[in-house]
Amino acid sequence: MSYEQAKQVAVEASLAAAQLCEQVRAQIVPEAMEKQDRSPVTIADFGSQAVICRALATAFPQDSVVGEEDATTLRQPEMADALAQVTQYVQAVAPGVTPEEVTSWIDHGNGEVRQRYWTLDPIDGTKGFLRGDQYAIALALVEAGEVKVGVLACPSLSVDLPQFPQAKGLLFVAVRGEGATVVPLKGDNPHSIQVVSPDDQANLRFVESVESGHSNQARQAAIAKQVGITNPSLRIDSQAKYGAVASGQAALYLRLPSPKTPEYQENIWDHAAGAIIVEEAGGRVTDMYGQPLDFSLGSKLINNQGVIVSNGSIHDTVLAALKEQVKS
């Protein structure tokens, strides 16, 4: 089955969302609103989800979209100014849209996991976005539990690639069975990417979250050292970490459960797009027990614990080190 249309729609929607997010950062000092789970959300999160869901609803009206945000907060009377701001930014993409249309598009992302669906994180790494640091727009198409298309727009990411030595802001794209590519957000010809080879000592390093509460950083450092990675970790917000592994800038991304929240279940939108990009670049993605990530069971990876992302060649060694650590 061809996924060319799905790829093109996903790429164009993600680029439009990235432009919106960067306009928000350039024109105003982004402020976070607090959701019911106490996590932050911004005008850019809402605008990004509206723009992408509008594109998906137009091109694929039968497809469900499972996104991170909903418009409940924006519909509160005291949030009228915030909704007006979101609408203004969306109008740059879709002139003449109304606040009611914007909230409807945002809520189009409240779909269910089905045989075929999209999963979306309109801003993965909101805290990084607020700091002026790394974040990603992450969009993936899933069929029968398997990710088929993945797009990551990373407006602040720059990696040391010979094809784009000065580029800041990268777009990663992958289609199952067709490989992975990267291209600057400002435009150029896409280039294929591959994970790092095991003998590339300069890039034999690991990436992890900036926020210590997201994972067990002490355990991750110990595992990395145990498998021969002695370089300091790169701490990057968002699924930009997947981009670093896929493009050969790091060999390993570890996301092990934090001691404070050992039963934490990962959200599907935090991993789907990144996972296919790494896999199509020659890497491997599993949970901490070596099981594939299961995207068929709902908005959470309820059958998985932890996430291990690698260049493939060190993956089994990492899993063995984790198993040995548990025994001891």
Catalytic positions: 45, 126
Which residues, other chains included, contact 15 with Cβ-Cβ below 8 Å and sequence gap of 6+? 153, 171, 185
Give the up-direction half-sphere exposure of residue 133: CA atoms within 13 A in the CB hemisphere.
15
Q: CA-to-CA distance for 327 and 258, rounded, in angstroms?
A: 18
Residue found by looking up tokens 């997201």 in the block? 214
Residue found by looking up tokens 């990663």 in the block? 172
Q: Report which DSSP code applies to 11.
A: H
Question: If phi over 0 gives left and psi between -120 and 50 gives alpha, with beta otherwise, what is residue 96?
Answer: left
What the block records as the tokens of 245 is 């592994």
What the block records as the tokens of 56 is 């998906």
Q: Tell me the β-bridge partners of 235.
A: 208
Return the C-alpha torsion angle 172, 266, 106, 74, nearest 10: -130
Specify whether the CB–CB gap between 108 and 102 falls below 8 A.
Answer: no
Q: CA-to-CA distance for 122 and 48, rounded, in angstroms?
A: 5
Identify which of 254, 210, 211 has the alpha carbon closest to the alpha carbon of residue 236: 210
Specify whether the CB–CB gap between 184 and 18 falls below 8 A.
Answer: no
Beta strands in 78-215 (DSSP E): 116-124, 136-143, 146-154, 170-175, 180-184, 191-192, 206-208
Specify whether the CB–CB gap between 259 and 218 falls below 8 A.
Answer: no
Identify which of 107, 119, 52 has the alpha carbon closest to the alpha carbon of residue 74: 107
